[in-house]
Structure 1
């Protein structure tokens, strides 16, 4: 057995963690069969967005919870020793250290096995939703998960509020396209054809976004047309068509003052996502509403979010029921393993 085992097998499952723009920035360097160093690849980050850098640590928290879920499902407890330093995207060292994780053998419980199966089944759904409300007891259970970590999970099914928030989400894309740095970042991660999405195995595919690749390429390559009366209205209509059936939105409020908070926020979001998945509930984050300053202000005002002190409304998403969404491609496990110590 290689001295890096069982890391390749664990990463084979853990690589399916969700990340902003499906950029997959987390890398592991196995030290031996029990310990690995974890890094955030700054070249795969999204620093152009306001709050793009803090969401690097949110992504790290999502991955750490994903790794814990996978490891426990394979018979290992995880111990973390984290480096919570700020990310510097101007650094010449492009691998930002997040710390180390260590494995200890432990029996696989039925709960751990079920949680691993949920993780493997989880997908982001941008498909139209079917307007059914998620039962109150499911929402309450998710709220308890958030509360255990010091966060508040709030929801709305008010039709007017939902409509206004969906339009804020739509307007965010138009706003971001006017920001040259954000526009270039978005274009870096769009995958217009099935072949490109499959070959590169990352980014936002037109298929997953439910848009014809050729039309999306034309629209994104001619951003000035988005403000044109006729063409702009057509593009807006195409985008809103993917939001059919949205009946319910949820968001998380909680501590968001620094890297330690950001990591725990990501961990909490992943736990809540798996709780909802256990009940057949699909989810689609509206991440850019949070990272776009104007949109975030409009969202927070609309829902009367508690953003006192270091608290922030840091995640907004639609959730409900949809048909099974297309599989989002992921890079192979080998791309996450940056080499082992001799």
Structure 2
């Protein structure tokens, strides 16, 4: 027996899914009490990055897994009928169809409930970490979860590698900002005050990035000064200060050669994140190292990642323990729901 507003309850939770730059691009049209159509809003995507378009489908996979977790906790399975095709960010149709999802009654078990509870409290922490290693049992569980999806989770606590990749991540930000398109895209999603972040309900706030809003605004609007000896050194020092105490890096390797692979990668990442959250471990993706081609090559060489036969090291992050980060503001769940007149043919 279906509850009268089961979709409303599920989406109220699932809208917490993580997305690049907190852009929240997924839209849903509720077709019936049991069926919904899922879309990716191209106007909320990040096509300027070299892997920005594939990560649109990764984000869709993250959402679908989030939706499954939230539905399963309420006693519903999720049957999917995906219609995956390459995203065209120049398309006149700004809603890219991902597929149909149907709720099916299915009993929930304690594992489902544990994942759901972890989903509700999951956060990205850009704070300094406490310089302690994560319990090996948690790392082993993450490895098992990733393997279920055909991916490999690898990690390192080698101080030299950790230090090197943290500095590559910082240098990549400087490098990306030389690209006019990437610079414009990043500026679109930065929120320089709590009030702006709260009002907009999206984007990367200065508060969550642990930078004073005026400093962040000045730095981003005067990117040429990043090359200046004094100002550039100050900005580097502020950024690297948030990376204190990082002891471990983790990355995921696996098939990454088309929309179906990208969606499955997103599911994998969400599962990995839930396991770490269940063990009270935070993580912080180093997305620009993956999407910047030069930095990606540096990381792969340093870590010895496997990128043969259509496989890629497609996700990199630091993980560990920190004090709780400030919450990221989000749009209301209702903002995800498309009115019937706006739905595209699917």
TM-score of the two chains, using structure 1 as the length reference: 0.98
Q: What's the counterpart of residue 235 of structure 2? A: 235
Q: What's the counterpart of residue 90 of structure 2? A: 90
SS at match of 2:299: helix
1:144, CA displacement in angstroms?
A: 1.1
Deviations 1:165-224 (A, max 9, x none): 000000110001100000000000000000000000100000000010011101111000
Alpha-carbon distance in 1 for matches of 2:72, 2:110:
10
Q: What's the counterpart of residue 294 of structure 2? A: 294
Alpha-carbon distance in 2 for matches of 1:160, 1:113:
39
Q: CA RMSD in A?
A: 1.4
Alpha-carbon distance in 1 for matches of 2:112, 2:247:
32
Are 2:278 and 1:272 equivalent residues in the alignment?
no
Alpha-carbon distance in 1 for matches of 2:298, 2:111:
40
Q: What's the counterpart of residue 119 of structure 2? A: 119
Alpha-carbon distance in 2 for matches of 1:239, 1:26:
30
Deviations 1:33-70 (A, max 9, x none): 10000000000000000010000000000000000000
Q: What's the counterpart of residue 308 of structure 2? A: 308
| Paired residue total | 341
> 1:3/1:153 Cα in 2 relative to 1: closer, same or farther (>3 Å)?
closer
Q: Could you tell me whether the CA contact under 8 Å between 1:210 and 1:242 is conserved in 2? A: yes
1:111, CA displacement in angstroms?
A: 2.4
Q: What's the counterpart of residue 156 of structure 2? A: 156
Q: What's the counterpart of residue 175 of structure 2? A: 175
1:273, CA displacement in angstroms?
A: 0.6
* Runs of at least 4 residues off by over 6 Å: none
Q: What's the counterpart of residue 165 of structure 1? A: 165
Alpha-carbon distance in 2 for matches of 1:265, 1:4:
33
Alpha-carbon distance in 2 for matches of 1:109, 1:135:
25
Alpha-carbon distance in 1 for matches of 2:61, 2:156:
26
Q: Could you tell me whether the CA contact under 8 Å between 1:4 and 1:31 is conserved in 2? A: no
1:6, CA displacement in angstroms?
A: 2.0
Q: What's the counterpart of residue 37 of structure 1? A: 37
Q: Could you tell me whether the CA contact under 8 Å between 1:252 and 1:314 is conserved in 2? A: yes
Alpha-carbon distance in 1 for matches of 2:175, 2:312:
22
Greater CA drift, 312-321 or 148-157: 148-157
Contiguous gaps of at least 5 residues in structure 2: none
TM-score of the two chains, using structure 2 as the length reference: 0.96
SS at match of 1:317: strand
SS at match of 1:187: helix
Q: What's the counterpart of residue 330 of structure 1? A: 330
Alpha-carbon distance in 2 for matches of 1:120, 1:245:
26
